[in-house]
């Protein structure tokens, strides 16, 4: 493991990663996780670190058990209801934690996309909102074990972090509430969260826009590392168009709170991502460098000041 270990009293203990995390991200996370004064680890969920970013916004941080980047869930407190964005991997009692932080408000749950590090914890909730394109994948996940051979070695132990498998939630069916582009999720009075379809990283990847709090939650479509674009032909052009439309709305939010790594990025990062996507679409062969991973070679186009967009030519 190339990244320096981060010591906190959380119940997972990371000892390896699938790949190194970019140094700027790791430095931010190390500083936050060891020195941030808002950090709480509540007895209800010893696997989560809780940070307060705004009066009504909590970041819930969990170490990712599949060897990839550690994960954020976000909790927005509205006047009457609270919205939890993403459910982590299903390790620990995220539901109990979110309810405690919600302070008696009704708790709503939505996911940015149906990947196991963001939706693995869905089954502990009665119902979860997701863009309709993600529903087939969520149904598939409902029927598959959370712990698979990407997570567990031949000896049955996790390859990446130490944890007690007994603390994994049980898989069970839950209700999926389909979301659509432009939907508003009401948190009471006139506090609304707008649903924006960005696609890109997955077919139904959503961003959530809190115009009252002036914050954007783009999941893995805007992260300060490699933004992985996955899908068939046309995916990248569609993603470019959607990001370009969002780039015209940067006066509506100040802080971007992604699914991984550095949080509270400035809104202009959307314009920088849109610019890089445009450059890829103009000439997909003009990548800046390549990265080798378990799934082969990824082309990487630099996003200035942020990271890169990782893609394969067939996604354009
Ligand atoms: Zn992710």
pLDDT in tens, 39-81: 999 999 999 999 999 999 999 999 999 999 999 999 999 999 9
CATH superfamily of the 13-223+253-278 domain? Ribonuclease Z/Hydroxyacylglutathione hydrolase-like (3.60.15.10)
Question: Once rounded to an integer, what is the mean pLDDT over residues 179-187?
Answer: 98
Instruction: Look at residue 2 in the predicted model and tell me its pLDDT.
Output: 87
201 Cα: distance to centroid of ligand 1 (angstroms) = 9
17 Cα: distance to centroid of ligand 1 (angstroms) = 14
Lowest-pLDDT choice from 3-12, 46-55, 181-190:
3-12
Supply φ then ψ for residue 292, to 5 degrees. -95, 130
Report whether 226 contacts 264 (CB < 8 A): no
Instruction: Look at residue 122 in the predicted model and tell me its pLDDT.
Output: 98
Predicted confidence (pLDDT) at residue 294 exceeds the cutoff of 80:
no
Q: What is the pLDDT of residues 104-135, one digit of tens each?
A: 999 999 999 999 999 999 999 999 999 999 99
235 vs 291, higher pLDDT: 235
189 Cα: distance to centroid of ligand 1 (angstroms) = 32
88 Cα: distance to centroid of ligand 1 (angstroms) = 9
Predicted confidence (pLDDT) at residue 292 exceeds the cutoff of 90:
no
Neighbours of 84 (CB within 10 A): 27
Q: What is the pLDDT of residues 247-273, one digit of tens each?
A: 999 999 999 999 999 999 999 999 999
Q: Locate all alpha helices (DSSP H) within the chain, ordered by sequence.
A: 23-35, 94-102, 116-119, 135-142, 235-247, 269-282
261 Cα: distance to centroid of ligand 1 (angstroms) = 10
User: Which positions ≥6 away from 43 have C-beta within 8 Å?
Assistant: none
Q: Dihedral sign for Cα 300, 301, 302, 306, please.
A: negative
């Amino acid at each position: 493991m190339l990244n320096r270990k981060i010591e906190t009293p959380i119940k997972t203990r990371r000892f390896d990663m699938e790949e190194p995390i970019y140094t700027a991200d790791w430095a931010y996370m190390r500083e936050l996780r060891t020195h941030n004064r808002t950090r709480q680890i509540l007895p209800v969920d010893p696997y989560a670190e809780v940070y307060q970013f705004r009066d009504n916004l909590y970041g819930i941080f969990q170490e990712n058990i599949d060897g990839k980047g550690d994960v954020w869930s976000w909790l927005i407190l509205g006047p009457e209801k609270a919205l939890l964005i993403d459910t982590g991997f299903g390790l620990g009692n995220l539901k109990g934690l979110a309810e405690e932080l919600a302070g008696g408000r009704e708790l709503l749950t939505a996911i940015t996309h149906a990947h196991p590090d963001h939706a693995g914890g869905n089954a502990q909730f009665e119902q979860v909102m997701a863009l309709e394109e993600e529903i087939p994948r969520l149904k598939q996940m409902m029927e598959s074990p959370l712990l698979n051979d990407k997570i567990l070695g031949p000896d049955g132990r996790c390859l990446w972090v130490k944890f007690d498998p007994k603390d994994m939630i049980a898989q069970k069916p839950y209700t999926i509430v389909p979301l659509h582009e432009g939907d508003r999720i009401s948190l009471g009075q006139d506090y609304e969260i707008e649903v924006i379809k960005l696609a890109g990283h997955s077919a139904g990847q959503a961003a959530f826009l809190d115009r009252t709090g002036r914050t954007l939650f783009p999941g893995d479509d805007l992260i300060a590392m490699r933004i992985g674009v996955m899908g068939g032909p046309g995916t990248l052009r569609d993603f470019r168009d959607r990001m370009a439309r969002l780039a015209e709305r940067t006066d509506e939010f100040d802080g971007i709170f992604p699914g991984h790594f550095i949080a509270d990025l400035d809104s202009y990062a959307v314009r920088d991502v849109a610019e890089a996507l445009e450059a890829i679409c103009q000439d997909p062969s003009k990548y800046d460098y390549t990265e080798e991973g378990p799934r082969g070679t990824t082309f990487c186009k630099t996003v200035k000041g942020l990271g890169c967009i990782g893609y394969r030519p067939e996604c354009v």
